[in-house]
Chains A and B, each alone.
Chain A
Amino acid sequence: MKHISPNQVAVDIPARAPTRRALAKQQTRLKVLAAARRLFSEQGYEGATIRDIAAAAGMSTGAVFANFTDKSDLFREIMTDDMEALLAAMRDAAARGRGVEDALLKVFMAGYTFYKSRLQLARAAFSVSWDLEGGPVLRGLPSSLALQDVFAELLNGAVERGELSQEAEVKLRAQMLFDTYLSNFPQAIFEGWSLEALQTRARDQIRIVLAGARRG
């Protein structure tokens, strides 16, 4: 494949009205992201190469690099998009919960439902999260931190309402609940657990983690 540097691409693009040009650039980005999403799902993070992603998007590697600095940049963008959508779903679920246990369970299920159609991508993300370089980046993304906050906010709300005790160690419990939520993914991914099975399990897990924080 012919290599084109990002600069060369920029020069090759004929000058147009800024809006049209911006629109074209946006369309290119979306095409690359769609192709990357598919390849990360099929090949995993390590398995997918920029060259394959470019070919799948029907463009040169140079055109990909004009829009994204590298593969991790692409992956980060896809993860951010997903986590923002997931965040909205989780917040919505949290608002619909009656009582803290129910709300937490709905948040867990919002996550499993969201990823049910994209378990392969979840698998790629988990793989990256255990990497010494990729892990901190992924877990430190603002959208990832916001997901963890959903758990903490629910617990804080329950403390304020008096549903949980003042000494509930909210930070620790929120972290444990988030980790517990994540830890069920291998069952979902590899053992093909149904949403019902995950729900049964999550309900028990939430109950055990919250038991000591109950008032009285």
Chain B
Amino acid sequence: MGAEAEHTPEAVGPRRTQKEATRARVLAAARELFDAEGYDGATIREIARRAGVAVGSVFTTFASKGEILSEVMQARLDPLYGEINRVMPHVRGSTVDRLRTLFAIHFEFENRHLRLFLAHIAAAYDWTLSPAARPYGRNPRLKAILRDTVEKGVATGDVRPDIDLDEVVGLLLAAYAWTYQLAITQGAGAAELIAAMDRQIGVLAEGFSARA
């Protein structure tokens, strides 16, 4: 999904243009490498080699490996969240149905580049991560969409008004991330991941639903 298109150089000096081109090349190479090698396996040196740029020029653009991955994921997730924000207001059904739809869209999307997404989660445990990096869990968009969905549930009488919504969102985020362990340990595909998440949403719903 065109990360490059966003970086179309406009009326800028040649130096700036070159910097943007390097940036786009690095991001494209990094995306491929993370998807092939995972987070630990990908090195800045290899990213530079694949992008055909000097290691030094990678570091003049990005502070760390984690930051590169954050940029890759952001470019990748922008269209996903654009689509979700467009679709979700029209998704009918109970809060549980809406949550299931929401996560199904995510699994379908991430499963196409599974290793890239696992790298995104693994980055959350990186040592050297700079504050600017946004690994899984530090991305506010999914959290906001979930919060919005359960808030609507309170408004429609689906969700207990006395429950701590942040707690529910936290549990959903935990279930979502850890469901990917099934892909790691059992090689589960999108359909299995979705089914596993559906069951977990069912369990959580017994905790957050009005009139249990």
* A interface, CB within 8 angstroms of B: 43-47, 123-124, 126-132, 134-136, 139-140, 169, 172-173, 176, 179-180, 182-183, 186, 189, 201, 204-205, 207-213
Contact = CB atoms under 8 A, between A and B. Distances in A.
A47 B65 CA distance: 13
A52 B100 CA distance: 48
A215 to B, nearest CB: 13
Interface of B: 38-41, 115, 118-119, 121-122, 124-127, 137, 163-164, 167-168, 170-171, 173-175, 177-178, 181, 184-185, 199-200, 203-208, 212
Contacts of A209: 171, 203-204, 207
Contacts, number: 105
A211 B206 contact: yes
A66 B203 CA distance: 49
Contacts of A123: 125, 127
Given A130-B184, A132-B115, A139-B185, A47 B177 contact: no
A131 B39 contact: yes
Contacts of A134: 40
19 contacts: A43-B127, A127-B40, A128-B40, A130-B38, A130-B118, A130-B125, A131-B184, A135-B184, A136-B185, A176-B203, A183-B173, A186-B137, A189-B125, A205-B171, A208-B171, A209-B203, A210-B207, A212-B205, A212-B207
The 4 closest A-B pairs by CB, nearest first: A212-B206, A183-B174, A208-B207, A211-B207
Give the interface SS of chain B, mostly helix, strand, loop or mixed.
helix
B200 A127 contact: no
A135 B185 contact: yes
B176 to A, nearest CB: 10
Nearest to B118: A130
Nearest to B174: A183
A208 B171 CA distance: 9
Given A211-B206, A212-B203, A44 B184 contact: no
